[in-house]
Amino acid sequence: MQLLIIDDSETSRLLLETVLRGEGFKDLAGASSWAQALDMLLALPDDKLPDVLLMDLEMPGINGIEATKLFKSAPRFADIPVIMITASDRLEDLEEAFRAGAGDFITKPVHRVELRARVGSALRLKLEMDSRKAREHELERMTRELETLSSQDGLTGVANRRQFDKVLEQEWQRCARDSMPLTLLMIDIDFFKRYNDALGHIEGDKCLKKVAQAIQTAFRRPGDFLARYGGEEFAALLPDTSPEGGLKVAQSIRQELLDLALPHPDSSVSDLVTVSMGKATLVPRPDGDSSVLVAASDESLYQAKEAGRDRICCFSHKNAD
């Protein structure tokens, strides 16, 4: 709909429609009251709303000024221009109409040239507003895409190191505030360089993707977070997870990889792709440093590698599980 004409006088509505159609405007509709117009508007989808409203100032019940206030107070209609049609020459009426949200006015009797010019101007304004809004939405979409790309590892699709650092700090502060344990698993694919050397980097990339998927499959809570920490190393952050709970997730990861049964052509510990894991659990302090958790988990990962790989080592004790 291009235009919606709201006037309690059928004669006035028909006159406006006749003049506007003669001037090349199309898709016109009319309503005899604000209540009828509102029913029409509410029944329309957003992409079928009128581009301009022509509103009579003097109408029984809710007059044009009150109707414009109601119309402009609804976010769905706020950007639609309103042209007030009035037989009044009182300056106060015009000022009140503009305060209500009207963008222009036409005095009765309506002149064809003036009507065409003012309606055409309102339509151009609406087109410009729609174009600006579309550009803003596109900019917002592109910004969200860039934010996602900047926080995501391009190969595996999980978070990257930059996003890990950000989420770690957020979860550290949240767990500190609620006195909840925070568990971190540092996960390293065993003998990954040999895998690459034997099968090539394309197969190595496939391996990284499959391992990332297997780790995520083992997660138990929506808040569990995985990032590619670097190279063949992943970091799994498990908020509100006890040492026992973290160990169960680590064991589930090993089981998922066992079920995946991805052959490794040159591993010293298995015929399949395996991982070494270092687990650490701390209850953060608000004034503490989250790097302590990373260092503890990293030390446990080192112990797992030194102990022969394909195992889990925990910060809370020195035994391999």
Q: What is the pLDDT of residues 43-99, one digit of tens each?
A: 999 889 999 999 999 888 899 999 999 999 999 999 999 999 988 777 888 888 899
So what's the pLDDT on residue 1? 64
* Order of strands, sheet of 104-107, starting from the edge strand that comes earlier in the sequence: 28-31, 3-6, 52-56, 82-86, 104-107
How far apart CA 164 and CA 238 sit, in angstroms, is 12
Question: What does 248-271 look like in DSSP terms, one character per residue?
Answer: HHHHHHHHHHHHHT-B-TT-SS-S
For residue 295, what are its two tokens? 């260092």
pLDDT of residue 320: 36
Residue 319 is predicted with a pLDDT of 36
In the prediction, which pLDDT does 55 show? 93
Domains of the chain: 3-144 (3.40.50.2300), 161-314 (3.30.70.270)
Residues designated catalytic:
232
For residues 26 and 47, give the distance between their C-alpha atoms in angstroms, rounded to a whole number: 16
pLDDT at residue 136, as a whole number: 87
What stretches in the chain show pLDDT beneath 50? 317-321
* Centroid of chain to Cα 249: 29
